[in-house]
Amino acid sequence: MVITRFLQISLLLLSTGLMSGCLTVYLAFEKHAGAFLVEVTGPKFIHIPDRQWDSKNNALVYFYRPYSDWAAEEIDAPSLFIDDRRYVSLRGNGYSWLEMAPGTRRITMRRPIGLLLGFEGIDEYSLSIIVDADFELEPGGIYYFRYSEVEPPAKPNPALDPDHPLASGDMQLVSAEVAFDEIVHTRFIEDEPPLAKNSAGTSIVETNIMDSFAKEREELEEQRDVELAELKDQGHWRSAKWYWPFGGGPTKRVKADRALRKLDKREQAYLATLASEEKEDSKWWWPF
């Protein structure tokens, strides 16, 4: 009865969110199989050569999970998200990697509920959050995230404050020294449909940058709303004419508007650079 009721509530929330468009529903259909169902059989760990990623401007981030009997018998593996985008489910004895843009990124891990066929949560609500924290990436940096529900790392990460959310728990940002002793025994988590699809093992730099633009825009629009409310309270506002409801507005400059225009120019310049690079790549066969 409890499970039946839980299913009913979850499905109701899911249908409501989909119809209203106001909820983010996290599902891992065909993606969440654990090592018991899909064993990790990819190539043994090797470091990505510098020539295969932009080691001057970007960062390389590894994610790994040491072998354990518990992980080997797992039915549902937890999903890894970067900036709210899912990339891979970390199965036992496996590793993957992502090339990322420098800056602040957010890592989240959610464990799906098998009875719900991969249901992981709705918006901020999740049945099982393993980690949800921000972390900083520096140009040229190489980072190692370790997940284990059985044993903690051999040593704490000296680069992290002990109170940092990634310095404790099942998912931790560990030092290279700790990672080297374990990650070399893991295998690459390949894309294995239909039960273990993933999109890691690649560069997500462009996605990171566009996500950063979107986040900055959202923050500036919130700032603009606050500014407009303050200008109204201070009397710096021109009311619309009764015959033209679309007029009116602030009588002083809105700082957020200027910042939004600068953001637009930066984003347009970045998109133009991408388009130019794609155009050059498409002409490799025609040197003239």
What residue segments make up the domains of the chain, in order of their start? 23-203, 209-282
Q: 233-245 pLDDT, tens per residue?
A: 999 998 877 667 6
Which is higher by pLDDT, 105 or 7? 105
Q: 176-191 pLDDT, tens per residue?
A: 999 999 999 999 999 9
| pLDDT of the residue at 27 | 63
The rounded percent of the chain whose pLDDT value lies above 90 is 70
| pLDDT of the residue at 242 | 66
pTM of the model: 0.84
SS3 state at 5: helix
Cα-based angle 60, 100, 87 (whole degrees, multiple of 5): 100
CA dihedral 185, 189, 192, 193 (to 10 degrees): 140
Q: 235-288 pLDDT, tens per residue?
A: 999 887 766 767 789 999 999 999 999 999 999 999 999 998 887 776 655 555
Cα-based angle 144, 147, 150 (whole degrees, multiple of 5): 140
Which residues, at least 6 apart from 276, have a Cβ–Cβ distance to it below 8 Å? none
| pLDDT of the residue at 7 | 46
Residue 257: alpha-carbon gap to chain centroid: 28
Amino acid identity of residue 16, one-letter, is T
| pLDDT of the residue at 248 | 82
